[in-house]
C-alpha cells in the first residue's frame, strides 16, 4: 500500500511559496529548491535500516547506531538535478543515478533517453528526485525503469504534485512511498500544474 506524506513543516511551506513566485530569480530558485530538497530528503531517510555500533569518546565507550543500508539518489533529468546537492548535504555517501526522461510536448507522454543505475540496488533505499509530478507519466516510467533493474525499496520525492498525476502514480506503483510538499488541484491543457510554479527545468537553469 502507498503511503503519501504531504510535508507541512512551516519552513518548507514558506520556501515553497517563494519557489512558486514568478518574481523569484534563477539563483534564488536554485537555492530554494536545494534547501527544500534537503529538508524533504531528511524525511525520506527516516526509515533507513540501522545497525548497532559503539565508539570511543574521549571519556568512555558510547553505544550508537549507523546507517546499514545502501542509499541511492536518482535524479530525473533535467529538473531533478536541482535537488541533488540538497540531498547530498543530508547523506553524502549515497550512490547517484540519473534517468533521462522528457515529455513529448504534443502527447505529454514520457520519452526515455538515458539511464545509469549502480549494480546491486535490490536492497538499497532508492530515493527518486523530481520537483514536479504533473500527469505522472514521467514518474511512473522512471519507477518502471528502476524496478526493471531490481530496485524494490523506492521513495519518490517531488516538490509539487497535481492531484490527478498523484492518483495515477499511486494506481501504478502502490508499493512506492510518495513525499510531496504540495498537492495542486489542476493541470492546464498543456499539462502544466496550476498554480504550480511553471516549467521547473527552465526556472532552475534559466532557459
Known catalytic residues are 103, 107, 199, 202
Contact flag: residue 127 with ligand URA (CB under 6 A): no
Pairing between β-strand 71-77 and β-strand 61-67 as defined by DSSP bridges? unpaired
Pairing between β-strand 95-103 and β-strand 71-77 as defined by DSSP bridges? parallel
Provide the binding-site residues for ligand PRP, judged by CB under 6 A.
76-79, 102-103, 108, 110, 130-139, 165, 191, 200-201
Q: Which of 132, 140, 146, 155 binds ligand URA (CB under 6 A)?
A: 132
H helix intervals, the chain: 10-20, 26-44, 84-90, 137-148, 163-172, 200-205
For ligand URA, the closer of residues 91 and 102 by Cβ is 102
CB contact at 8 A, 125 and 45: yes
Stretch that binds ligand URA, among 13-21, 60-68, 113-121, 186-194 (CB under 6 A): 186-194
**Closest CA relative to residue 12, chosen from 94, 84, 79, 86:** 86
CB of 75 to ligand URA, least distance (A): 14
Distance CA 103, CA 81 (A): 16
CB of 95 to ligand PRP, least distance (A): 21
User: What are the residues binding ligand URA (CB under 6 A)?
Assistant: 79, 132, 134, 191-193, 196, 199-201
Amino acid at each position: 500500500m502507498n503511503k503519501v506524506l504531504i510535508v507541512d513543516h512551516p519552513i518548507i511551506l514558506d520556501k515553497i511559496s517563494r519557489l512558486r513566485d514568478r518574481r523569484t530569480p534563477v539563483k534564488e530558485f536554485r537555492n530554494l529548491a536545494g534547501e527544500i530538497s534537503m529538508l524533504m530528503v531528511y524525511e525520506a531517510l527516516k526509515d533507513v535500516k540501522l545497525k548497532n555500533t559503539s565508539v570511543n569518546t574521549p571519556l568512555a565507550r558510547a553505544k550508537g547506531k549507523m546507517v546499514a543500508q545502501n542509499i541511492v539518489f536518482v535524479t530525473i533529468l533535467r529538473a531533478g538535478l536541482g535537488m541533488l546537492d540538497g540531498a547530498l548535504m543530508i547523506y553524502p555517501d549515497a550512490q547517484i543515478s540519473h534517468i533521462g526522461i522528457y515529455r513529448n510536448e504534443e502527447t505529454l507522454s514520457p520519452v526515455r533517453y538515458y539511464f545509469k543505475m549502480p549494480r546491486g540496488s535490490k536492497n538499497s533505499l532508492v530515493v527518486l528526485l523530481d520537483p514536479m509530478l504533473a500527469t505522472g507519466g514521467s514518474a511512473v516510467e522512471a519507477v518502471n525503469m528502476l524496478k526493471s533493474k531490481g530496485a524494490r525499496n523506492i521513495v519518490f520525492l517531488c516538490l509539487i504534485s497535481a492531484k490527478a498525476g498523484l492518483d495515477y502514480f499511486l494506481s501504478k506503483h502502490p508499493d512506492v512511498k510518495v513525499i510531496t510538499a504540495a498537492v495542486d488541484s489542476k493541470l492546464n491543457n498543456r499539462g502544466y500544474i496550476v498554480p504550480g510554479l511553471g516549467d521547473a527545468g527552465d526556472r532552475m537553469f534559466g532557459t
